[in-house]
Each structure stands twice: as structure tokens, then as C-alpha cells.
Structure 1
């Protein structure tokens, strides 16, 4: 089962409230709060698409650039010792630290 969905490059979460009997979610990876809900999966998807369309229309109306999630740059906090080990490993394998981290993440994502 997948707990995300995608529309026009935006990724939305999928949650369920047993108490309310509703599916709900929000667009992930951007500062703007874009939320949606539905009593059925089809309603949830439709409301998600509508929420993204409304957001894009509001941005166009106000002449603002829509936020884009996942620009390819992020900060990671790790222990100083692990940081040192990663730098040493990358240097020993003639790689930049960025290349090593990217390769490691690719391997982890594809292994699942």
C-alpha cells in the first residue's frame, strides 16, 4: 500500500482518521499548507488534484512563483565521527562527499 500520491510534481500524503471516517493529507516538501480530504479514495484524489490546481491558480493570480519541493539540496545532521568517516571513505574512493551521499541514498532507496 502506498501512502503518497503525486500530481503535477507535487507529492501528497495519505492518512485516515478512524474517528472522522475520512481520508486526508497535505502536500509535502513545501512551506505552503495545501490540505485535502475525502470520504473515499476517489474523493481524496479529486480533492488533492483540486487543491493543487487552486494553489497554482492563486500563485498565477498573485504573480508568485509556485514553490517546488525536492530541489535536490538538503541539510543532514549526523555525528561528527560519522561525518569524518564519510569524508575519509569518499576520499579513499576518489569521490566527493556529495557523490558518496547521493550513491548511498540511491542504494538504500533501491534496496527497499
Structure 2
């Protein structure tokens, strides 16, 4: 099971690794890799802050933007049947296929 935690404004995916009996966090959306490990959540946050600080310092030294830039475009492959079904639903709601999919994705992220 994966979870997302925010540390100093940056998001990291956290999972438990039973092979090493530790939690592992990995920052996402960065122009490079930054991971961290700890036995408990408090330690994970502390190690995450250290890992992030080192990563950000290296980016500053190298003149690299730490956050990855996203274009807002991606390809999605679905079955022809699903394609037809979502197109029909989008049209029924008076939306373009793109807008309908964007709305559904946005709603799925904001449901608690």
C-alpha cells in the first residue's frame, strides 16, 4: 500500500518495505531522485527533511530547477468499448471528451 506525505511543500510516496523492516519514502515530481528510510513515521519525516535539504542544496549548486515541469498533456490508452462509453457520457453532459476525463480525474483526487 502506498501513501503520499508532504514534507516542506514537496510530496513523497511512502511504503513499508518488509525486506528491511523500514518505511521508505521517495520524493515525486523532482528533477532527480531523493529517497529516505526510517523505522517509524517521526523518523521518516526527519529523514525526509534531511534528504530534501541535501537534494535542494545540490540543485542550487548545479543551477537546476528542483521541481519537474509538466506539460499538462499525456496519452491514455483504453479499450475501444470504453472509449465509446466515455465519449457518449461526455457528450451527454455537454462536454468534450478531454474536459470530461479531466473533470473525472480532478473529482477522484478531491474525494475524501
TM norm. shorter chain > 0.5:
yes
- Where do residues 17-36 of structure 1 align in structure 2 (5 Å cutoff)? 17-30=17-30, 32-36=32-36
- Where do residues 44-63 of structure 1 align in structure 2 (5 Å cutoff)? 44-63=44-63
How far off its partner does 1:29 sit? 4.2
Unaligned runs of 5+ in 1: none
Q: How many residues align?
A: 111
Q: 1:64 to 1:109 in 2, by over 3 A?
A: closer
Over the aligned positions, Cα root-mean-square deviation in angstroms equals: 2.7
Unaligned runs of 5+ in 2: none
How far off its partner does 1:40 sit? 2.5
Q: Distance in 1 between the 2:90 and 2:17 partners?
A: 45
Is the 1:10–1:69 contact (alpha carbons within 8 Å) kept by the matching residues of 2?
Answer: no
So what's the TM-score if we normalise by structure 1?
0.75
Equivalent position of 2:106 in the other structure? 106
Q: Distance in 2 between the 1:29 and 1:13 partners?
A: 10
Equivalent position of 1:41 in the other structure? 41
Is the 2:31–2:65 contact (alpha carbons within 8 Å) kept by the matching residues of 1?
Answer: no
Equivalent position of 1:66 in the other structure? 66
How far off its partner does 1:48 sit? 1.0
